[in-house]
Amino acid sequence: MPGVTLPTFTIDEVESHNSAKSCYVTVGKNVYDVTDFLDSHPGGADLVLDWAGKDIGAILKDEASHTHSEAAYEVLDESLVGFLESGNGASANGKAKGGENGKEEAWVHPRTGMSCEEDLSKDTDYNADYKTHKFLDLNKPLFMQIWNGGFSKDFYLDQVHRPRHYKGGESAPLFGNFLEPLSKTPWWLIPLVWWPPVSYGVYVAFQGFGSVAPVAGYFGFGLAFWTLIEYVLHRFLFHLDYYLPDNRVGITAHFLLHGIHHYLPMDRYRLVMPPTLFVVLAAPFWKFAHAVLFFNWFAATAAFCGGVFGYTLYDMTHYFLHHQNLPAYYKQLKKYHLAHHFLDYENGFGVTSAFWDKIFGTELVYNPKTN
């Protein structure tokens, strides 16, 4: 898991790590172990030890002391060991934790660079982002940058799960040529394409049974079974992450399949699944439905149609969670899913429901009052 598995420290615990053998510092709520960096500090170890067990946020920004380079912040990123316990009213140097005007600084997740769902919709400074992270330049088509980037798997996974936002939710260039329109899918295309064949399949099944009850039963079975398929696909295919081949083919395929959605989660046109891709994924499930319900072709067809209908509800729900104002129940579901993007992308795989997350132990625990 990401940062939620890192330990929390009290201020007293941080302040006890104040020697060359164990040197901790904090910035806001983040706790860093900089022991290994002491001898490498350009100003000598003593300058760092003067701040051992304390908050260094102010000194990092103090130009009167000396300007800290981007490399200093990179060292900190690599040295994160945990967080100050929630409710600590002071920073590790005994002063109120605060940014400008004495206001409390927002907690920032170290692996996503975000603190709340609103951060997902803040426009990215493309030039500054590329200069800082050396990943993708949002001014240029993304596909060839991924293909030719020579990124290691670890670097790619770290960067692709740090969400960016492109021009108020527009689509960043992917191919930059005639293929560009084929990479975009509006949400309304999903019911438009799939509901007619689902309706026809249900009609065929009814013709075979001659009764509504068995068709409704098998359709409902397929609809319910889809919720498990949704969870399995999201967890084990879309988030293949750590089993991903460490080469350009694997990384590029991951980016096109799901990585781009975590990289640009508020992109309206790369959120639902293109019909051509769903055909590829649905074909094995047609065979699967008829293998399981081998005793009745019409039952298998009704169940398959229920599953496809479930998929359309999933894709539309996914879109609405990102882009619509929703009723009370869905507001909670919206918070749950968006936390999967800005807080903990290794949990919270259910989109239409958290049911299977609870069953399989991947429920995302998010309390906006304490995170």
List the binding residues: 41, 68, 234, 239, 258, 261-262, 318, 322, 337, 340-341
Annotated binding site for Zn(2+): 234, 239, 258, 261-262, 318, 322, 337, 340-341
- What is the gyration radius of the CA atoms in the chain, in angstroms? 25
Q: In the 8-state DSSP scheme, what is residue 264?
A: S
State the pairing for strand pair 80-84/18-19: unpaired
CA–CA gap between residue 371 and residue 214 (Å, rounded): 48
β strands within the chain, DSSP E: 8-9, 18-19, 22-27, 30-33, 80-84
Q: Which two tokens stand for residue 265?
A: 């989660």
Which residues share a beta bridge with 23? 18
Residue 138: count of CB within 10 angstroms of its CB: 22
CA distances from 276 to 37, 107, 234, 236, 300 (A): 51, 41, 18, 21, 23
Return the structure tokens found at 154: 């670890």
Return the amino acid letter for 28: G
Dist CA 368 CA 371 (whole Å): 5
Tell me how far apart the alpha carbons of residues 233 and 136 are, in angstroms, rounded to a whole number.
27
Residue ranges of the annotated binding site for heme are 41, 68
Please state whether beta strands 18-19 and 22-27 pair in parallel, antiparallel, or not at all (unpaired).
Answer: antiparallel
Helix and strand totals (H; E) in the chain: 15, 5
